[in-house]
Amino acid sequence: MSAAARKPPRYRKHPVGAHYGLGDWLLQRLTAIVMAVYTVGFVTCILVSKPATFPQWKAIFSGTFAKLATMLFLASLLYHAWVGMRDIVMDYVKPAGLRLVLELSIGLTLLTYLIWSASILWGR
């Protein structure tokens, strides 16, 4: 028997569960940075303009840049929430059917929030 034939089989990793790896970890960190930058910019804008009435608040969000930045913030917030909630559900809810229902409910709720937020920001 040759030396190659006596080698033990190679170990192969088969990830299961909430182990989606580096991609989701990096995206969650990126969304945190986006939210932090937006928060600093928004607080600075509020401290400088000091809106006191509804028309003044509305004027802050009337520009295209403010709307796009706010939508990016909201999309980041909701994706960040999705990754966190998905990991919690996958770690602590063991029955597969219940886990699927919870993940679907959470995903649809977050998607509804994104659509609702867009309609508020871009609506007339």
Q: Which CATH architecture is the domain 23-122 placed in?
A: Up-down Bundle (1.20)
Q: What pLDDT, on a 0 to 100 scale, did the predictor assign at position 123? A: 85
- Show the low-confidence residues of the chain (pLDDT under 70): 1-5, 7-9, 11-21, 124
Per DSSP, 4 falls in state T
Nearest to 28 by CA among 75, 71, 69, 83: 83
For the chain, how many helices (H) and strands (E)?
Answer: 4, 0
How far apart CA 30 and CA 14 sit, in angstroms, is 27
